[in-house]
Amino acid sequence: MITDFKGRTAVLTGAGSGFGLECARIGARLGMNLVLVDVQQDALDSAAAEAQVSGAAVLALKVDVSKAAEMEALGRAVQERFGAPHFVFNNAGVGAGGLIWENTTQDWEWVIGVNLMGVAHGIRVFTPMMLDAAAKDPSYQGHIVNTASMAGLLNAPNMGIYGASKHAVVSMSETLYQDLSLVTQQVGASVLCPFFVPTGITRSHRNRPAGMAAAKPTRSQLIGQAMGDKAVGSGKVTAAEVAQKVFDAISANQFYIYSHPKAIASVQTRMEDIMLARNPTDPFAHKPELGVALRQALRA
């Protein structure tokens, strides 16, 4: 929990677009020092320039969050420039869809590397720094927010590789919350579970490493891409609104952060499936025409 953001330091991965960029904008308005991290140099440069114009102290670094050594170097750079951060947003993420058996080894390595190991490295690098700062200063307040997804609480079809990574982030975040509560009251944790929000994640293949080049997309992957683009494009909740929810949650020490609270009904259905040992409920039960269309497209 952080009650006063002015003069505090935020480390934001995926800061060049989406939730990371919008959190940077809020942080700048609140007078925070900003450490902006992204793998896309032009987006990072643009975000840094905007933050500097607003008067924020900025450290902008191109980092591949899936790489342990790069994240460790980031930690050293943050410590040297600003000291221990107060808000760490492990937010960088990429998307991938298609029938789960059609994903290549490179698909798995890329998505798990960014979505899961990026969060793991952020936790591993910054939590000890924050705990050390808390031990030295009783007034220190820190908070870690990990970006998962509603796909981390549900099991949507045709996007299994993404869902697997985000389920892991939810689990890690819950454990982080519990582990922190064992050792301190000065550092908190939250998990962000957005639904369909326009952020640019459906175009994340633009930053796919050359060594993990994608194979020719399968029919299911093309269908998944089209459905994702349509769902995200029609989203009525903006990335800026979600970013504000992040800051509100930090101030309130709220763990679960939702962009679309009504979607929790589907999570309840899934939990009931588990508790009653019944087969998974049709995810399209509320909109059967979508399920019909997807099945017809995949079986064509």
**pLDDT tens digits for range 108-123:** 999 999 999 999 999 9
Residues pairing with 142 in the sheet: 187
- Report if residue 151 sits inside a domain: yes
Domain holding 227: CATH number? 3.40.50.720
pLDDT at 73: 98
Catalytic annotation, pick one of 162, 177, 256, 258:
162
- Mean pLDDT is lowest, of 141-145, 233-237, 247-251, for 233-237
Domain holding 184, by residue range, is: 9-261
- Report if residue 296 sits inside a domain: no
Which residue, 49, 54, 63, is CA-closest to 32?
Answer: 54
Token reading at 204: 């994340």
3-state secondary structure of 239: helix
- Report if residue 215 sits inside a domain: yes
8 A C-beta contact, residue 122 and residue 65? yes
Instruction: Please name the residues in contact with 256: beta carbons below 8 A apart, sequence gap of 6 or more.
Output: 190, 191, 193
Which residue, 257, 144, 247, is CA-closest to 197?
Answer: 257
In the structure, what pLDDT confidence band is assigned to residue 215 with cuts at 50, 70 and 90? confident
Q: Give the other-Cβ count within 10 Å of 200's Cβ.
A: 18
pLDDT at 96: 87
pLDDT at 34: 98
- Report if residue 273 sits inside a domain: no
- Report if residue 64 sits inside a domain: yes
Q: Give the other-Cβ count within 10 Å of 266's Cβ.
A: 18
DSSP for 263-289, written as a single string: GHHHHHHHHHHHHHTPPPPPTTTTSHH
pLDDT at 148: 97
Total number of domains in the chain: 1
- Report if residue 279 sits inside a domain: no
- Report if residue 287 sits inside a domain: no
pLDDT at 219: 86
- Report if residue 275 sits inside a domain: no
DSSP for 90-145, written as a single string: E-------B-GGG--HHHHHHHIIIIIIHHHHHHHHHHHHHHHHHHH-TT--EEEE
In the structure, what pLDDT confidence band is assigned to residue 279 with cuts at 50, 70 and 90? very high
pLDDT at 205: 64
State yes or no: is 256 an active-site residue.
no
Cα diameter, the chain = 64
In the structure, what pLDDT confidence band is assigned to residue 232 with cuts at 50, 70 and 90? low
More confident residue, 225 or 126: 126
pLDDT at 214: 72
